[in-house]
Structure 1
């Protein structure tokens, strides 16, 4: 029997294969281009920080952070600062910073000009920060505008917490308003009880000092638990996101990093920006 000749394979399968390869290459190159674009965009976004790190900051000290972490932290700090020229820079401290050499802080940080310092005074109903007196007097001796803050413990009595702050903090002429630091929800109380307690603390402290306190909190915590009930208070907001690079108009103070580094302070320190000029900040004092 005569065999039926086999049909030659058409070119179509080959074309399909070629098409698949081409599409794969296109996707690969597109992803690469997107990545390159992202790197370029980030480089432009943080160009001032790169310049500072590469050219101007030559005496970096490494403490708890690794060298790479220190580079990244410096990058963001100086990028943010470059966007806030004319604003006032400050720090906040507690015993977590150890013994601070305030004379060195004042004299040896020309590239990191500080205008104000917030000092942790008390926590809960009975705790006094171990370094409060040293930091409180050191900030004044260094001619910084200074303010004191209380770390609020949600499950402790609010009136006793206010009494603890009042007993330990004497505000003098030229001091900033007192600050209530609230960061956690209660374990044993309801949110309604938390709000009531915060209001009692704020009312008692305001009555004693004759000035309305400032509220400090993380951005998410404030938005979720405090915003509706505490309108009218000046805000000091903590937000360390790399996507947040400018202070918002509703924030009086912005704590944008906890990785600042200053001569005279052995550990890292929180860095803050006041949303205005030094003259505006001076008008806030007692």
Structure 2
């Protein structure tokens, strides 16, 4: 392949429109390789970290290989090509040459904007550009401020680079168990493919949330996760604590028939403060019959007798607002004789198998209307309502900005919660062990701020 021809063509075409960003849900975008695409490159195959980016750009005719079957993923990119591709992706438009080199106008533009100095760019636009300079160029062209957070890279501490990392634009690599950026190495063809796509995404859509290879727009008015990870600590007993000054916590479990017979006094003696007990569920099949949890009455009375604070949850398979209200009415009737001091929770979870009534998820609008309808009726009956979800449901199935009247219960089984938005209770494990329960049990941390 003629490398100069590639550089000029790539610069001219560098993402004038969104490159390979396909809508998944309203407000979400995903890097999607076209259906039926087969890599023509021997050295670009599924499993390579750069595969999707190269595949998308190649399918659009923006990048090509050498003509011998190779893409040359590790080959360096010239400084001129890096300037043109990054600046165009960040919205500079086409800039005419100012001297003999075809990329000279972009070099002068970068200097005039304060992105890089003429000394950093150098006199040889056909030479290599260290990747740290490409990172600073990208960050400044996107209008990012240098991050004050600790660098994720062991070999460089640069606020602009850290800002790019926090935006999902760069990730680095691993060497000897450490995350490195290799700041003085030239940028490679594989790396520029990733960076150019990411820069254009941020320029077009702004800051987004990356989850499972999909980018989600940040919702207006929804508080961001404000917990400080350094205060989370799991003890040798498997119990999580959070010690930030000014934040109180309580530890508890949620249970159903699957935990069998429970010795609730042992649970209380083990340090549990509360229990969320399943009151019932809707069947998975098309009929969607509402059923009680056969251990509900025994569990709730025994938990109360042991001195625990108690709430309940209903495992919903509702597909209409009317069904959600039916579930709320059922819960209200079942709990009327008990003193609930913890929330009544709407727990909707998809069941992905043939014949499941929730295999096809209702629209985001319907999901929000169902959750609100359930919670409105629970609140009207004098109880605190809450909505339960895992990150996938929180990002994909709900628009959390429509549920702001109610607290959130997050299920995420990590050492720290990485969900972008704020929440009031965290289910941090489904394999907890608590005295008085013979098998695994969900354990939760409730926050009071």
Distance 1:204 1:142, change over 3 A: same
Task: Give matches, 1:163-202, under 5 Å.
Answer: 163-170=329-336, 172-173=338-339, 175-184=341-350, 186-187=358-359, 190-191=362-363, 192-202=365-375
Which residue of structure 1 aligns with residue 274 of structure 2? 116
What corresponds to 1:23 in structure 2? none
Q: Report the counterpart of residue 58 of structure 1 in structure 2.
A: none
Q: 1:218 to 1:93 in 2, by over 3 A?
A: same
Residue in 2 that maps onto 1:146:
310
Aligned to 2:176: 34
Q: Which has the higher helix share?
A: 1
Q: Deviations over 1:207-246 (max 9, x none)?
A: 2x2234111111221122221321221111111124x258
Distance 1:103 1:182 in 2: 30
Scaled by the length of structure 2, the TM-score of the pair is: 0.41
Residue in structure 2 matching 1:105, options 251, 267, 280:
267
Q: Is the 8 A contact 2:429 2:444 kept in 1?
A: yes
Verify the 8 A CA contact 1:155 1:187 in the aligned structure 2.
no
Once the two structures are TM-superposed, the CA of residue 88 in structure 1 deviates from its matched residue by 1.2
Counterpart Cα distance in 2 of 1:92 and 1:145: 12
Answer yes or no: is 1:222 the counterpart of 2:394: yes
Q: 1:262 to 1:247 in 2, by over 3 A?
A: farther
Q: Could you say which residue in structure 2 is the equivalent of 1:129?
A: 293
Cα distance in 2 for residues equivalent to 1:269 and 1:240: 13
TM-score of the pair, normalised by structure 1:
0.63
- CA deviation after TM superposition for structure 1 residue 168, in Å: 1.4
Query: Matched residues in 1 for 2:360 and 2:418: separation?
Result: 37
State the distance in 2 between where 1:174 and 1:132 align.
Answer: 14
Preserved CA contact (<8 Å) 1:247 1:275: no
Q: Which aligned pairs between 1:27-106 and structure 2 lie closer than 5 A?
A: 34-35=176-177, 53=236, 77-78=238-239, 80-81=240-241, 87-106=249-268
Distance in 1, matches of 2:312 and 2:373, equals: 18
Shift in Å, 1:262: 1.2
Deviation at 1:269, TM superposition (A): 0.6
Considering Cα pairs closer than 8 Å and 6+ residues apart, tell me whether 1 or 2 has the greater RCO.
1
In structure 1, distance between residues paired with 2:326 and 2:242: 43
Deviations 1:142-195 (A, max 9, x none): 101100111111336223222221221226445223111122283467313333
The match for 1:206 among 375, 379, 404 is: 379
Q: How many residues align?
A: 210
- Unaligned stretches of 5+ in structure 2? 1-154, 156-172, 180-229, 283-288, 352-357
Secondary structure class of the residue paired with 2:336 = coil
Query: Of 376, 400, 405, which aligns to 1:232?
Result: 405
Give the Cα–Cα distance (whole angstroms) in 2 for the partners of residues 132 and 217 of structure 1. Answer: 22
2:424 paired residue among 246, 252, 255: 252
